[in-house]
Structure 1
């Protein structure tokens, strides 16, 4: 046994302690920065047009499943997105589907529900014990939704919202809207004549472009008037129409009434994930929705690029825990299949934005009380009025009933009979 004052003994002990310290610290150094939570907001895949213009030779019967339905091209687009997400989050998500890790919500629309299912087929192909049929490389995974009239999270523009409608009317009076209408008046009249649309405006012309775009994408012949220049101008007006919904004027106010609602939910989910340190916590939330959903979100974040969100495009929020224990947020936009998603930075912050700063910068677009800010008549006040009227009606009914009972009792007494009080009887 070495003496305490033996130099070799001290050196060996120090080296041993150092090696042990490095062995313990190595996993921490290699995993110092960890992905903790992901939110995805994606548009559905390729679909048939939502409608046809009156003079269109291709009406609903031209499409196998009718208007507004996900096509096989769209199914594949979402399946590919699911595969890309599987690669991106390999090591973060479980290799096989784990219901505790992921939650998917869709609008109550066929194409978004089917897109979510196709996406999940690419994200979680069944393996091992999850294969319930060897002939099917698919497994059922729940997709949640609410009826469209009740969807106050993903179906934009949100309504009813009187203040939003007022802001839209003010935007129609803005110089940019008036000038653009004037500069394109002749073109809009031409489109109206060719399509048979009675009222072709900056707000309705998007549907013409949408129909022609879908028909061209599926190799259907376009009418002679729909040449390359016309399509380009239609596309420009269509993009302006989307911007009109959430911007052009009063962008922050509109955001509080529209996309800010979704931003608020995303921030609350991030905060909950940052506070939960369990290994089996929820890791990913995916929202399957529409181009208007993505645009409303990006306008609220002030990162919108002015172009319609492509099919199967996906806005990503990634929450990281740094080696210091603090949390940061990174955003990406996947807008083209097979290419890395584009990094997005919240104005006023770096791409790797501290979560507290990320939340602080977004406070101006977060509604405190959506119904009040929308100037919707107070439901509580209406309820109080109804309760008050019901109470008054009940009281009136009781008074009438009491009066009738008194009258009936008086009529039922024998003629000449006079009721004598107890005091009078004793005095007689």
Structure 2
């Protein structure tokens, strides 16, 4: 009984140690979070990551373009768009040079554009390329030194900034109109119970033909909002009374569509497997910051120029679904700062959001968005709202990890509807034999975007024909491999292999697992030690009694039997 009592005390001690360890971890996380808030005025800015939408452009009408695109060719940056980005660049320059709440000394002291200080990247679209240069002109005001070097790449392969390179999103927009309208039509019908009102608005802005079809009523609404936003930016929205009166309602329909696409829903099986649709860019931000900490990235400014369809997925991945997050206005900017406490060396992240005014009467002045709220996850896997939109770098990385893909294919994972849209051939072609059938354009897109998942085992993707070519004995002779190209694209029934939908990040799950293992090890060691102590005590008692028995060997048998009985009871 004494042995078991010792075991109980040992287990209790182990439990106390575990509780203490958890309390210490919680305390450390709390201290780090509180330290970020308390030391916000002394944190040093090491690097600034900027992702902005292009400035205002002319609209994208479906008909009568010459009547609508008067300020610039359709889709091109307008004078208002250039002014917006100049204001954004100038505002941020002031923030990092003279704002005493942010810096103690100028971070970008020279007015000259410096290729060793600033890195710029844009989508390969004219309005984003021009917006990137306009931002740099505002940020580096010495025009004589500005010969901007703006990196870019073809739209079709720009995974970082063009969300439509993700196959599911591409198919949703271009090929799955039934689902797209199922998302938009309910709100459209709620806001416009008499759908002919939509036609009247369209007629006012030269879109009567496009807006006269009941089946495409929500498509028309989104086009009308696009045109209205462009007209508002140049001060001409008031020339179209119906468009102006219904502008906010038109905007809500586009917002609900973007929310459906871009807000990360951890409980949605498809999105859980694909991961947050802004993961490529968010991961790039983490990489940039880690590079600064490791000394491999010396840029002070990492600058990216993109689209609303670039920012929306990023905000959705960061846990936001406010209207300005899901439907970013012209020239909206995400600012992610890597910070360091000079005293402790600890690193933090601050993420802010803002945009210039959207019409000439605002003079396009820049302002921060007070509705934005940064979220992070502490060492115990608990999500929290970051005070002052600042949290420890480790907590930010845990939040990013929380929305990583649960399936190894990530954004290449498709549901069955999208597999059918892709329409990839199920059989590979024989090596050396010209393909007898053309690969559908949808399949070519998927295989180009996701070559590593395009073909089955024993098959090789031909980058020219986009056919899966048999390259091993297992698929020669006309017998397709069990995992054909179609199945390789997506197994809709395959369960997540990287994590479970438990609300914790992969890092948190690993941490809990490690803590559980350590706890078990502590208890096991304690129990083993207690057992060993009990065993040694019994061996000592046995030795004493055996000695006593030898000393009384000449005593009567009944006394010896009594000693033997006592010995057995001791065992």
**TM-score calculated relative to the size of structure 1:** 0.70
For residues 268 and 363 of structure 1, what CA distance do their matches in structure 2 show?
Answer: 13
Structure 2 segments unaligned to the other structure (5+ residues): 1-38, 98-105, 357-364, 377-383, 416-445, 448-452, 462-467, 478-571
Query: In 2, distance between residues paired with 1:170 and 1:325?
Result: 53
Number of aligned positions between the proteins: 350
**1:200 counterpart SS class:** helix
Q: CA deviation at 1:187?
A: 4.3
Q: Structure 1: how far apart are the matches of 2:277 and 2:392?
A: 25
Q: Structure 1 residue 345 and structure 2 residue 345: aligned?
A: no
In structure 1, what is the equivalent of residue 3 of structure 2?
none
The superposition leaves residues 62-91 of structure 1 with CA deviations (integer Å, 9 ceiling, x where unpaired) of: 34x310111112112111211111111222
How far does the alpha carbon of each residue in 1:338-357 deviate from its partner, in whole angstroms, 9 at most, with x for none?
Answer: 43564632152422211111
Cα offset, 1:179, TM superposition: 4.0
CA distance in 1, matches of 2:243, 2:303: 38
Whether contact under 8 Å (1:313, 1:335) holds in the other structure is yes
1:325-340 correspondence runs (5 A): 325-336=345-356, 337-340=365-368
Task: Give the one of 436, 454, 461 matched to 1:379.
Answer: 454
Offset at residue 52 of structure 1 (A): 2.1
Match among 278, 282, 297 for residue 314 of structure 2: 297
Q: Given the superposition, is the C-alpha separation of residues 267 and 111 from structure 1 closer, same or farther in structure 2, using an over 3 Å criterion?
A: same
2:170, 2:62 → 1: CA distance?
Answer: 31
Confirm or deny that 1:314 pairs with 2:324.
no
In the alignment, is the contact (CA less than 8 A) between 2:198 and 2:217 conserved in 1? no
Q: How do 1:5-404 residues align onto structure 2 when only pairs under 5 Å count? A: 33-49=43-59, 51-54=60-63, 58-60=67-69, 62-63=70-71, 65-90=72-97, 91-95=106-110, 96-126=112-142, 137=144, 139-161=146-168, 165=172, 179-184=186-191, 186-192=193-199, 194=203, 195-197=208-210, 198=213, 199-220=215-236, 226=242, 228-247=244-263, 250=268, 253=272, 256=275, 258-276=277-295, 281-307=298-324, 308-322=327-341, 323-336=343-356, 337-340=365-368, 342=370, 344-346=373-375, 348-350=384-386, 351-367=389-405, 368-370=408-410, 372-374=412-414, 378-379=453-454, 381=456, 382-383=459-460, 386-388=469-471
For the residues of structure 2 that align with 1:54 and 1:173, how far apart are their CA atoms? 21
Q: Which protein, 1 or 2, shows the higher relative CO under an 8 Å CA cutoff with sep ≥ 6?
A: 1
- 1:264–1:366 Cα contact (<8 Å) kept: no
- Indicate the RMSD between aligned Cα atoms, in angstroms: 3.7
Whole-Å separation in 2 of the counterparts to 1:227 and 1:380: 49
Separation in structure 2 between the aligned mates of residue 73 and residue 177 of structure 1, nearest angstrom: 30
By how many angstroms is 1:252 displaced?
Answer: 5.0
Say if 1:349 and 1:357, in contact at 8 Å, map to a contact too: no
User: 1:239, CA displacement in angstroms?
Assistant: 2.1
Instruction: Return the alpha-carbon distance in structure 2 between the equivalents of residues 202 and 274 of structure 1.
Output: 48
TM-score normalized by the length of structure 2: 0.54
Q: CA deviation at 1:364?
A: 2.5
Query: 3-state SS of the aligned residue for 2:395?
Result: helix
Distance across 2 between alignment mates of 1:255 and 1:189: 39
Runs (5+) with no aligned partner, structure 1: 1-28, 127-135, 394-428
Cα separation, 1, equivalents of 2:185 and 2:332 = 32
SS of aligned partner of 1:141: coil
Give the 3-state SS of the residue equivalent to 1:35 in structure 2. strand
Q: Whole-Å Cα distance in 1 between the matches of residues 303 and 257 of structure 2?
A: 27
- Residue deviations 1:295-346 (CA, integer Å, cap 9, x gap): 1110110123223222222111011112211211111112233435646321
Alpha-carbon distance in structure 2 between the residues aligned to 1:186 and 1:57: 31
Structure 1 match to 2:35: none
**Does the aligned pair in 1 maintain the 2:50–2:304 contact within 8 Å?**
yes
Conservation of the 8 A alpha-carbon contact between 2:274 and 2:412: no
